[in-house]
Amino acid sequence: MLSNEELAAVITVGHETRSVEFKAAGQLSDKAYVALVARAALAMANQRDGGNIVLGVDDSNPGDSTGLSQNQVREWTSLDDVADKLNRYCDPPLILRVEARTHPNGESVVVVEVGEFSEIPSLCVKEYPGILVLGQLYTRSLRKPESSIYHTHNEMREVLDLATQKGLRRFRETAAGAGIAWAGNPSDREKFQVQIDAATASSELNQITSEAHFRHLIYPQSFDARKVPRRDLSSSVRDSAVRLRGWPFPYVNEPRNGEDFIGEGSSSTRRAEGWRFYSSGLFADYRTVGEWPDDWDSFGGRAETSGNIPVWFALLNFTEALEFAARLKTKLAIAEPLMVRFEMANVANMKLVVADSRRSGFHQDYVYASNFWASQEILVTDEVVISGTRRLAAETALEFCELFGWHGVTLDLLEGIQSSSLS
């Protein structure tokens, strides 16, 4: 998504580029105008990395445009309405994001970001006389920045190569899901694991990873080292942050820049936390368990344990992480599911405690003997984004509690903790 600074830089150039097209102001209710935007969007979707359509900028004089009215800004920043109007002309549907921006002259404009097609190129499925032709494939011309149905050899090869790469990736994912092993190149999961291992071993997170800690891992289904533009990393985390308990998950202050990530190092709070967000779309969050006392419902086995983990600590962290994953998926406009995996490390002989005098149900000390645990991968799909993530968090917390041998835990109990602890 173009920032104000990047928009200013493009306008300074004085003309459109292959990945940026200008459109003068128009209404979402104007069918001819929507058809023009749809044509540009179709062409953007059929090139690598997609592109941006800037509404409210006249391509004949981009530096002196009049922008959009406030009513037009409201119309064009309603993602549901914009997607509905544009996707009437497109199959498969386009991957879209919309945000308001400010022209260097102070006028309001809207940027429509179009993602590259996810599996197969998008075709025009509805005619609009003089603008859109039914059944046509639109691309961005290599000769000059325009959307066209007339393709050179190189333009057509670009689309075919992109579709072939995506088809091969999908085939590998299907084969892997069927249990077919591939020799040679690492799998997408293995590529993400390399980044996870790098984050875990980093010196700035050592204060956390050397102690008992939780890891919240969020990543797309497929690996692409450039899935998230570097310029979008910081804003994506900030805008997706969750504040269900009054403070943000994750905490974003002044992220440090790495070669292919941004991140925060461990803080000096009682329960240190830190994270990394990679341009591959991997978000890795780390936080210490902290030191929790025995509560009234404990059974005195403290000499045999190395520390306590409150039930609510795991449950609420899972809840916040899954909600963050859902918001991140929406923010990034990623069509494929996001995968979420929870892990804990350095936790051998830690004891589960209630740590809340209003709750009971323990009948013995519940201790975990192993040093590591990883949950099953949880798929955050578009359906999950709509329906909500809290039940998934409670179900994962149920699995977690049963690791310690507490089989009296129920979903009702865990969901009660959620509803009483979160806004």
**Model pLDDT for residues 314-334, shown as the tens digit of each residue:** 999 999 999 999 999 999 988
Element (H, E) at 262: strand 261-264
* Mean pLDDT value across residues 207-213: 90
The full length of the chain comes to 423
Give the model's pLDDT for residue 270.
47
- The whole-chain average pLDDT of the chain stands at 87
| pLDDT > 50? residue 61 | yes
The answer to whether residue 303 scores a pLDDT higher than 50 is: no
- What distances in angstroms separate CA 178 from CA 173, 174, 336, one per listed residue? 9, 6, 19
Angle separating helix axes 311-332 and 230-240, nearest 10 degrees: 130
Number of C-alpha atoms within 13 angstroms, CB side, residue 66? 5
pLDDT of 110: 95
Q: β-strands 350-353, 261-264: how paired?
A: unpaired
Query: According to the model, what pLDDT value does residue 302 have?
Result: 47
Residue 296's pLDDT is what?
A: 47
Q: Which amino acid is at 266?
A: S
| Distance, CA of 70 to CA of 110 (rounded, Å) | 11
User: Locate tokens 């292919």: which residue?
Assistant: 260
46-50, 89-93, 139-143: range with lowest mean pLDDT: 139-143
- pLDDT score recorded for residue 398: 93
Greatest CA separation found in the chain?
81
Residue 200 contacts residue 213 (beta carbons within 8 Å) = no
> How many Cα atoms within 13 Å fall on the side-chain side of residue 245?
18
Give the pLDDT confidence score for residue 423 in this predicted structure. Answer: 67
- At position 320, the amino acid (one-letter code) is E
pLDDT at residue 154 in the model = 77
Q: What confidence score (pLDDT) does residue 116 get?
A: 87
Looking at the chain, the whole-number percentage of residues with pLDDT higher than 90 is: 52
Mean of the pLDDT values across residues 245-262?
A: 91
Tokens, residue 139: 């691309």
Which secondary structure element, helix H or strand E, spans residue 402, and what is its range? helix 390-403
Q: Give residue 362's pLDDT.
A: 63
pLDDT-derived band at 162 (thresholds 50, 70, 90) equals: confident
**pLDDT beyond 70 at 356:** no
Contact 159, 137 (CB under 8 A): yes
> pLDDT grade, residue 3 (50/70/90)?
confident
State the average pLDDT over residues 79-93.
93
Least confident of 63-77, 150-164, 364-378: 150-164
Closest C-alpha among 416, 413, 390 to residue 402: 413
Residue 38 in this model has a pLDDT that exceeds 80: yes
In this prediction, residues 242-249 reach a mean pLDDT of: 90
333, 290 contact by CB (below 8 A): no
Strand partners for 139 = 148
User: pTM to 2 decimals?
Assistant: 0.64
- SS3 string, 114-174, reads ECCCCCCCCEECCCECCCECCCCECEECCCCCCEECCCCHHHHHHHHHHHHHHHHHHHHHH
Closest CA to 33 of 101, 94, 82, 77: 82
Task: Return the closest-CA partner of residue 271 out of 357, 207, 220.
Answer: 207
Measured between alpha carbons, how far is 309 from 312 in angstroms, rounded to an integer? 9
Answer yes or no: are the C-beta atoms of 67 and 4 closer than 8 Å: no
Higher pLDDT, 86 or 292: 86
User: What mean pLDDT comes out for the span 255-271?
Assistant: 78
Pair 172, 45: CB distance under 8 Å: no
Domains of the chain with CATH codes: 4-164 (3.30.950.30), 188-421 (no CATH)
Q: What angle do CA 197, 319, 307 make, to 5 degrees?
A: 65
Token reading at 309: 């983990």
Q: How confident is the model at residue 183 (pLDDT cuts 50, 70, 90)?
A: low
